Amino acid sequence: MQTREEVFEQLKGLLGELFEIKPERVVPGAHLFKDLDIDSIDAIDLMMHLKELTGKKIQPETFKHVRTVQDVVDAVASLMTEESTK
């Protein structure tokens, strides 16, 4: 199981790779839409890549409440914790 820090680092790399976002802009409090210019189509693309990265399906209803980088980290970490306890 990955730590939240590992999830954060992977997310930082993924955002850079997919959307050419500089790593220094990816901080826990960064708002995906306002600060990082990630629109709804980008969010879907991100969700699909997170699924590939984690091997876990992220439910759309969980992801629709995500607003910040930390929200993404929390959602992925919770999903991985939830799956590992089954």
pLDDT (tens digit per residue) in 27-62: 999 999 999 999 989 988 998 898 888 888 777 787
What integer pLDDT is reported at residue 83 of this predicted model? 55
Write the pLDDT tens digit of every residue in 5-33: 999 999 999 999 999 999 999 999 999 99
CB 69 within 8 A of CB 26: yes
Token couple for 40: 């709804």
Burial string for 2-37 (b: 16+ CB within 10 Å, else e) reads eebeebbebbbebbeeebebeeeebeeebebeeebe
CATH number of 4-84: 1.10.1200.10
Angle, CA of 31, 80 and 26, to the nearest 5°: 25
Give me the residue spans of the domains in the chain.
4-84
Q: Structure pTM?
A: 0.87
Give the integer Cα–Cα distance in Å for 7 and 53: 10
